[in-house]
Amino acid sequence: MERFIKIIQCSIIVLFCVSAFQVQARTWKVGASQPCKTISSAIAKAADGDTILIYPGVYKEGQIILTKRLVLKGTGYPVLDGEVKYEILTIRSNAVTVEGLFFKNAGRSSYNDIAALRIADSRYVTVRNNKFERTYFGIYAQHATACTISNNLLTSDAKDEISSGNGIHCWKSDSMHISNNTVSGHRDGIYFEFVSNSVISNNKSFQNVRYGLHFMFSNSDNYISNIFSDNGAGVAVMFSKNIGMSNNTFSDNWGSAAYGILMKEISDCVAQGNLFKSNTVGIMMEGTNRVKMIKNRFISNGWAMKIQASCSDNVFTENNFQSNSFDVATNGDLVLSKFEKNYWDKYDGYDLNRNGIGDVPYRPVSLYSMIGEQNPSSMMLFRSFIVSLIDKAEKMLPVLTPVDLKDDHPLMKPLKL
């Protein structure tokens, strides 16, 4: 009973403090006909906990540096114009909220990462429902912790990798939440480097010069239900471990060096429920270890998968492979990964006991895919009658393709994924 009374007393004190804080918090209005004519003057007058309400207009104030715990809220999307010279807003305070603003024309530099909005050495910052147009880097988070970046629209005019920045860029950060953003026209749509314990969910990243998503040296992260389409080279997850990849769409990434996703030097990851559709290569795996690929769909890709001989202990199970030109390609004879109970539309075996599993193994590596890898010009003969004969003969008596790369229990019908 005594403990209960103490809890009630503490709760009353907390409520009193919150109420007192709310009474003291003020709203500063900014606009041509408002008490504050500029955002900077309102910030100078404001105290921690106050709100800066910005009315429609174009604000050209150079670089605004925020070191107070404030809410910056726009009504009617007021424009913060960097005049192609300045970093527009730099946040160096915890618990800041920025919403409803239109960031435009941020500065550009070949030697300095200029962003429209930068979060620097801060915690619990929320950036939501903003628009970004013609920026170098859109949102740049460095040494940020537990920040939320959501429901923002970021578009730019990147022409090449050298003269462009990333849409959402996170560096040496932790526990970030990146959700429901739309990013296009940048070098990389979303970029993570040395970022851990973070979630990327429900974003759309398309028509970026290089990658829709780029992971580097980032561990224990998850990306869920995103759409990555029509990017220059697709998506890259590199030098990372303990990554969860589920229910994403990787589509329409075409080019000589384009992939739905490139997995390079990663380990202990799970990819489940993803769709790889209409890519030059659905998945390119190099130096990957202990990756589980479960219940994914590979549809209408050039190569569904390319698995280098440097990969080991990977498991591919209950995936659907349909309408791909080639199912699997590899560059060596050593096979250290396992295929089990996948559906292959090219499988022409039989199921005498009608248990839904083929009675003879399926070998997904096509002889002609290996020939095409070494001699690209030979692809002009693809789908010819003689090529079909060569492939069938190789599957019956494998000589050049890896003997151990096979699915011993192929499914007779596609899974409903």
Q: Which band of pLDDT confidence, cut at 50, 70 and 90, is reported for residue 366?
A: confident
Q: Which band of pLDDT confidence, cut at 50, 70 and 90, is reported for residue 389?
A: low
Is residue 203 predicted with pLDDT exceeding 90? yes
CB 217 within 8 A of CB 240: yes
Q: Considering only residues 275 and 396, tell me which one the structure prediction assigns the higher pLDDT.
A: 275
φ, ψ dihedrals at 92, nearest 5° = -130, 45
Lowest mean pLDDT segment, chosen from 173-187, 261-275, 370-384, 396-410: 370-384
Is residue 12 predicted with pLDDT exceeding 50? no
Q: Can you tell me which residue has the tokens 């998506």?
A: 235
φ, ψ dihedrals at 316, nearest 5° = -120, 110
CB 156 within 8 A of CB 179: no
Q: Which band of pLDDT confidence, cut at 50, 70 and 90, is reported for residue 172?
A: very high
Average pLDDT over residues 371-381: 59
pLDDT in the model for residue 16: 44
> What does the longest C-alpha to C-alpha distance in the chain come to?
88
HSE-CB of 67 using CA atoms within 13 angstroms:
3
Lowest mean pLDDT segment, chosen from 18-22, 178-182, 304-308, 356-360: 18-22
Is residue 372 predicted with pLDDT exceeding 50? yes
Is residue 4 predicted with pLDDT exceeding 50? no
Nearest in space to 288 (alpha carbons), one of 305, 316, 269: 269
pLDDT in the model for residue 394: 54
Is residue 23 predicted with pLDDT exceeding 60? no
pLDDT digits (tens, 9 = 90+) for 289-337: 999 999 999 999 999 999 998 999 999 999 999 999 899 988 877 778 9
Average pLDDT over residues 13-20: 44
pTM score of the predicted model? 0.88
Cα pseudo-dihedral 139, 216, 240, 122, rounded to 10: -40
| Rounded Cα distance, 129 and 57, in Å | 18
| Rounded Cα distance, 212 and 228, in Å | 6
pLDDT in the model for residue 333: 72
pLDDT digits (tens, 9 = 90+) for 91-106: 999 999 999 999 999 9
Q: State both tokens at 350.
A: 């039989």
CB 361 within 8 A of CB 339: no
Q: CA 307: distance to chain centroid?
A: 22
| Rounded Cα distance, 414 and 417, in Å | 9
Q: Which band of pLDDT confidence, cut at 50, 70 and 90, is reported for residue 385?
A: low
pLDDT in the model for residue 173: 98
| Rounded Cα distance, 202 and 226, in Å | 5
Q: Which range, 18-27, 235-244, 253-262, 384-393, is most confident? A: 235-244
Is residue 30 predicted with pLDDT exceeding 80? yes
Q: CA 336: distance to chain centroid?
A: 28
Please give the single-letter amino acid code of residue 296.
N
Q: What is the 3-state secondary structure (H, E, C) of 220-239?
A: CCEEECCEEECCCCEEEEEC
Is residue 79 predicted with pLDDT exceeding 90? yes
Q: Can you tell me which residue has the tokens 């995936």?
A: 319
Looking at every residue in the chain, the average pLDDT score rounds to 89
- pLDDT > 70 in the chain, percent: 86
Q: Considering only residues 393 and 158, tell me which one the structure prediction assigns the higher pLDDT.
A: 158
Q: Is 371 helix (H, G, I), strand (E, B) or coil?
A: helix
Q: Around Cβ 162, how many Cβ atoms within 10 Å? A: 9
pLDDT digits (tens, 9 = 90+) for 222-241: 999 999 999 999 999 999 99
